[in-house]
Amino acid sequence: METINKNEEYVKEEITRSMQHLSDKRVQHAIKVQSYIRSYVTDFLREAGYIEIAPIIISPLTDPLNHPVYDPKIHAYGGDMWITQSMIFHKQIAVQELKKIFIMSPNVRLETEEKSKSGRHLYEFTQIDVEALEKSREEMMSLAEDMIIYTISRLKKEHKEELEYFHRTLPDYAKPFPVITFEEAEKKYGKGFETPLSKESSTPVWVVDIPLKEREFYDREYPEKPGILRDMDLIWPEGFEEASSGGEREYELSQILDRIQKKGQTEEQFKWFIELAKQGIKYTAGFGIGIERFTRFVCGVEKIEDVTTFPKVPGRISL
Closest distance to Mg ion from the beta carbon of 194 (Å)? 10
Give the N- to C-terminal CA distance of the chain in Å, as an integer.
23
With binding defined as CB under 6 A, does residue 232 bind ligand AMP? Answer: no
With binding defined as CB under 6 A, does residue 105 bind ligand AMP? Answer: no
Q: Which of 245, 249, 295, 298 binds ligand AMP (CB under 6 A)?
A: 245
With binding defined as CB under 5 A, does residue 127 bind Mg ion? Answer: no
d(CA 59, CA 81): 5
Q: Which of 41, 122, 185, 276 binds ligand AMP (CB under 6 A)?
A: 122
Contact range with ligand AMP by CB under 6 A, out of 45-53, 134-142, 242-250, 256-264: 242-250
Contact range with ligand AMP by CB under 6 A, out of 24-32, 201-209, 260-268, 282-290: 282-290
Identify what 293 binds: Mg ion, ligand AMP, none; CB under 5 to 8 Å per kind.
ligand AMP
DSSP 54: P
Task: Give the nearer residue to ligand AMP in terms of CB position, either 94 or 291.
Answer: 291
Residue 107: partners with Cβ closer than 8 Å, 6 or more residues away: 84, 85, 86, 87, 124, 125, 126, 127
**Residue 60 phi, psi dihedral angles, 5° rounding:** -70, -5
Q: Cα dist. 284→94, 119, 203, 265 in Å?
A: 11, 32, 27, 22
Cis peptide upstream of residue 176 (ω within 30 degrees of 0)? yes
With binding defined as CB under 6 A, does residue 243 bind ligand AMP? Answer: yes
With binding defined as CB under 6 A, does residue 290 bind ligand AMP? Answer: yes
Q: Which residues of 80-92 are buried (b: 16+ CB within 10 A; e: fewer)?
A: ebbbbbbbbbbbb
Identify what 109 binds: ligand AMP, Mg ion, none; CB under 5 to 8 Å per kind.
ligand AMP
Phi-psi domain of 218 (left: phi exceeds 0; alpha: psi -120 through 50; beta: other) = alpha
Q: Which of 245, 284, 295, 308 binds Mg ion (CB under 5 A)?
A: 245
With binding defined as CB under 6 A, does residue 111 bind ligand AMP? Answer: yes
- Alpha helices by DSSP H, listed for 77-212, are 88-98, 137-158, 160-165, 182-189, 194-200
Task: Give the nearer residue to ligand AMP in terms of CB position, either 239 or 253.
Answer: 239
With binding defined as CB under 5 A, does residue 92 bind Mg ion? Answer: no
3-state DSSP call for residue 264? coil
Q: Give the total of residues touching ligand AMP (CB under 6 A).
A: 16
d(CA 235, CA 230): 17
With binding defined as CB under 5 A, does residue 86 bind Mg ion? Answer: no
With binding defined as CB under 5 A, does residue 151 bind Mg ion? Answer: no
CB distance 70 to 113 below 8 Å: no
Closest distance to ligand AMP from the beta carbon of 131 (Å)? 12
Nearest residue to Mg ion, scored by beta-carbon proximity: 245
Q: Which of 121, 159, 249, 259 binds ligand AMP (CB under 6 A)?
A: 121
With binding defined as CB under 5 A, does residue 201 bind Mg ion? Answer: no
Residue 94: partners with Cβ closer than 8 Å, 6 or more residues away: 53, 101, 131
If one counts every other C-beta atom within 10 angstroms of the C-beta of residue 123, the result is: 23
Q: Which residues bind Mg ion (CB under 5 A)?
A: 245
Using CB under 6 A, list all residues that contact ligand AMP.
86, 109, 111, 121-122, 125, 127, 242-245, 288-290, 292-293
